[in-house]
Structure formats: C-alpha cells, structure tokens
Amino acid sequence: MAKDINIEEEEINEDVSETNETNETNEASETSDASSSSDSSDTSDTSETSSSSEPELSPLEKAEKEIEQLKDQYLRARAEFENYRKRTIKEKAELILNGGEKTITAILPVLDDFERALADTTEDPEAIKQGMELIFHKFVKTLEGLGVKKIETEDKPFDVDYHEAIAMVPGMGDDKKGMVIDCVQTGYMLNDKVIRHAKVAVGQ
C-alpha cells in the first residue's frame, strides 16, 4: 500500500514539474514578444523623430541653395566654352599653317614632269611641244581636282561678276555690242568663288 502511495506521489510531482516548465516557456515567449514589440515601437518612434527633426528650409535658404546650383551650372558651362574656344583657336592656327599642304602635294607631280622635261636633251620641236601640252593638261586636271575651274568668256555677254573690261572695241555691230570680243587674261573660280576676274575686251 505504501508503495502505491509513493508511485502516485511521483506521478503527481512529474505532472507539477511539466506544468511549471510549460508556464516558464509561455512566460519566456511572452517576454520575447513584448521585447520585440517594444524594440519595433522604439525604432518607429526613432524614425518618426528623425524625420520630424529635419528643419524645413526658409524661403531665403531655398533661394540661396538655388543660387548655388545655378552658379555651379554657370561655372561648368563657362569651363566647357573656354575649352571649345581654345580648341577652335588651335584648329584655326593649324589650318592657317598647313592649309596649303593638300594643294602643294597635288602640284608636286606636275613639278616633277617639268624637271624631267628640262632634263630631256631632245631637239625635236614637235616632241617638246607635245610634252609641254601633256604637262599643261595634267596641270589643268590637277587644278580642277582642287576645285579650280576656268571662267568661260567665248561668245559670252559681259558680266561684271566674272569679267573685267580692259578695252572697248567699237564698230563690231549690234550683235557684238556688250559681248566679250577677246580674253586677254583667263579668269578662275575656286568652287563657287571668283578668285580672279577674266580680263576681256568688250564690243561697243
């Protein structure tokens, strides 16, 4: 009988122990939840405090800030313009110094032909004439490649934009009045610009 009583007491003690452990676990969980809730609340409060603690700029401060931004933009734009101006001046100087390089390079082969013609010892007048004509036509083609072209004057009416009258020829008839009778010196154009007017005699 005493043995049965001891067994019952042990079972009661085990139940009490399990109940205490359960209570302790629940209390620990509640404490953790409360702590987490408190931390979250503190973080939220801190964020709200930080947000609300930023001072609002006054109209004067806003204007000063805007002025600083505009000043920075102006300084950047001015620096870019200065760089552009210096680069343009440099390119212009290089163009002035080396602008004739293309022309000279194109003309050098014609100079070579003249040197060979002068070094030739032939005495045949016809051969010399043909050689000079070949060099002349080559030179004309070279100028045309550079944009230089001859101003036409034959059977053309006198035009002050292209011609320069150096003589008036009377008694040529009405059909020749105001027309170019003769070209004393050929005129030339570079692209669309007259670089030398043709000197002509005009019918009167």
Whether the domain at 82-146 and the domain at 149-204 fall into the same CATH topology: no
Distance CA 101, CA 56 (A): 66
- Domain extents in the chain: 82-146, 149-204
Level-2 CATH architecture, domain 82-146: Alpha-Beta Complex (3.90)
Residues in the chain: 204
The position carrying tokens 């944009």 is 147
Quote the pLDDT of residue 53: 58
Burial status of residue 150 (CB atoms within 10 A of its CB: 0-12, 13-18, 19 or more): middle
Higher pLDDT, 1 or 27: 27
Q: Does pLDDT of 192 surpass 60?
A: yes
Apex 33 CA angle, 32 and 34, nearest 5? 90
Domain 149-204 fold is Nucleotide Exchange Factor Grpe; Chain A, domain 2 (2.30.22)
Predicted model pTM: 0.53
Averaged pLDDT of the chain: 79
Of residues 22 and 91, the one with the higher pLDDT is 91
Residues of the chain with pLDDT > 90, as a percent, come to 51
- List of residues 6+ apart from 131 with CB closer than 8 A: 117, 120
Q: Which amino acid belongs to residue 116?
A: R
